[in-house]
Amino acid sequence: MVEFFIGIDIGGTNVKIGCFDSDLKLIAKTSITTGAGMGAVVVVGNIAEAVHSLLAKAGLSIDGVCAVGLGTPGPAKYGEGIILSSTNMPKFRNVPIRRMLSKKLGKPVMFDNDANVACWGEYVAGAGKEVEDMVFFTLGTGIGGAIVNHGKLLTGCDDNATELGHIIIYPDGRRCNCGQRGCVEVYASASWTAQRATEAVEADAKSSLKEVLEENGEITCKDVYEHLAKGDELAKRITDETAKALAILCINMLHTTEPSRIVFAGGMIAAGDALLDRIKHYFDEGIWTLKKESVEICFAALGEDAGIIGAAALAKQAKQQGKIA
Amino acid sequence: MVEFFIGIDIGGTNVKIGCFDSDLKLIAKTSITTGAGMGAVVVVGNIAEAVHSLLAKAGLSIDGVCAVGLGTPGPAKYGEGIILSSTNMPKFRNVPIRRMLSKKLGKPVMFDNDANVACWGEYVAGAGKEVEDMVFFTLGTGIGGAIVNHGKLLTGCDDNATELGHIIIYPDGRRCNCGQRGCVEVYASASWTAQRATEAVEADAKSSLKEVLEENGEITCKDVYEHLAKGDELAKRITDETAKALAILCINMLHTTEPSRIVFAGGMIAAGDALLDRIKHYFDEGIWTLKKESVEICFAALGEDAGIIGAAALAKQAKQQGKIA
């Protein structure tokens, strides 16, 4: 029988679902509103319905589905299959999501962190294809991280390794929502980029972003990069600060797990070379001189599909290794 | 036949050599002057001679030696068995040390970084015995680091992972000898602790260390901790700065490989609880509040023997896994 794998990527706003063949080629995909406010039972029911409808449209039967991969934000007990809590899905507390989804679909479910899942997607099919050792960052509301070490996702003693957005780079710096001071997230995530620009404009920095704030009542990260392209000095200063923080993060990761490639993903990479070139500049400026480093710093290749591809790929791997029944 | 393992730990000043039984129980050990200035051929000859003499004194024959483990400072190509260069052994450039020693002793040699080797010693027989995930730091002239992840030493894409002393914690801070700014080493190694105290006294900080500098022409790290014990305010300030830097390092490692134990080793741990309690204090103060962390921070247990034990243990493991012939 032909075998399929389903990849599911639950986010605070949308759930993305993909159906892949055994070579992990995408057959069909869909996206539904998460509707997290309706609680986990409804959400899982909607996801199961969307899976069935996706398969039906593609002329496939659920019987051919070999395994399902699921990625969600943490904190969670991934090993036990439980979402502990979620800043974007407040009704999700101690939800045994793996068991719920597995029961609903009648299929084994592999469950992991959303950053791990997206990282794995890029690793098997995107910007990390040719390497064995990779570090991955998603630049969104926060900063997520994942590490592939010798071809495997790095995990720690519990379920919370590679929370790379909370690496401290300015010990006496800004307070992060996590309670720490000076996390890289506070200097380089999309939401904090917007926040820092807003604060500067409110403190009367000269900038074309002032009009944006007056007209729209807010400055977004996208605004910052648009005004950077137009040569705005404040946008330049904010971007330099962001890029320097990310470069320090790259240097610190190089001295820790020594990747051969560092991949940035997430909405913020739409900023393009204006951001990437600056990260590389600060990396070259900041890295040690003891030896020449050849690590490649680049942007992700798969866009929004990384999560569903990675989830399906992890499901396939777990099935093959007999880790899910 | 009874089998033995030899562990060798080459440092800039001394070479430590230990002979262990197959349960890694120490049978006999010795130490010789490295004499690095005489070059690699002489040094390797002296080490081989010391091994033979150690075995003879213990009533053992080289025939019973199953494998030899060797630790040296980097940078090196450990996989290829070559020391590239060494700040403390300037005549050691591109030395194929593994092959030289193996030929001289007629035994297979396992070769790794000195911090990795000491970490492995603590892991199998010391402060890391009960855990699977550990991070290890040596606080000496510099700061060395090693990571055990799920029972294995973490390596990267080449031979230079876990250079944890060069993690940047103050991007605009002091210049490190490596060329970077604000490495943790510059705030928390023994030599930089002494240096920072010296600079402060020279800049006229009020301190009982002033007399030390006048009498001895220098302030050592040991002096700083002695004067801390006597209540000197400058020594307290320097130690707080050191402890805070090490605490930030612990937080960053927790968010990266998520160890269940973090172990500090090296000469500086002689400072005892005055240092350890401060590290824990700054860790508790600085760590996020998203979840309660239970990582243990402690000092190493094996003292100077960690390197020879770890080298012998890695040799035994490599032999068993068929990685050295």
Q: Positive or negative, the Cα torsion across A129, B254, A115, A194?
A: negative
Q: pLDDT category, A291, cuts 50, 70, 90?
A: confident
Provide, as residue numbers in chain B, all residues whose Cβ is less than 8 Å from the Cβ of A73. Answer: none
Tell me what ipTM this predicted complex has. Answer: 0.94
Tell me the Ramachandran region of residue A110: left when phi exceeds 0, alpha when psi lies from -120 to 50, beta otherwise: beta
Q: What's the pLDDT tens digit per position in B247-291?
A: 999 999 999 999 999 999 999 999 999 999 999 999 999 999 988
Mutate to test the interface with A, among B252, B262, B297 (most CBs of A within 10 A): B252
Q: What is the pLDDT of residues A110-145, one digit of tens each?
A: 999 999 999 999 999 999 999 999 999 999 988 999
The minimal CB distance from A258 to the residues B156, B176, B255 is found for B156
Of B176, B251, B258, the CB nearest to A160: B258
Phi, then psi, of B260 in degrees rounded to 5 = -95, -15
- The tens digit of pLDDT for each residue in A59-90 reads 999 999 999 999 998 888 999 999 988 777 88
Residues of B in Cβ contact (< 8 Å) with A144: none
CA distance B195 to B58: 43
Specify burial of residue B171 (Cβ count, 10 A radius: 0-12, 13-18, 19+): buried
Q: How confident is residue A244, by pLDDT bands cut at 50, 70 and 90? A: very high
| Mean predicted confidence (pLDDT) in B190-206 | 95
- Region B173-180 average pLDDT: 93
Q: Is the pTM above the cut of 0.90?
A: yes
pLDDT at B154 over 90: yes
Is the separation of the CB atoms in A145 and B146 below 8 Å?
no
Q: Tell me if A257 and B256 make a contact (CB, 8 A cut-off).
A: yes
**Residue in chain A nearest B153 by alpha carbon:** A257
Task: Return the residue of A nearest to B132 by Cα.
Answer: A157
Stretch A274-281: mean pLDDT, rounded? 98
Tokens of A118: 């997206």
pLDDT band at B90 (very low <50, low <70, confident <90, very high): confident
What was the pLDDT predicted at B112?
A: 96
Task: Report residue A228 CA to chain centroid gap.
Answer: 24
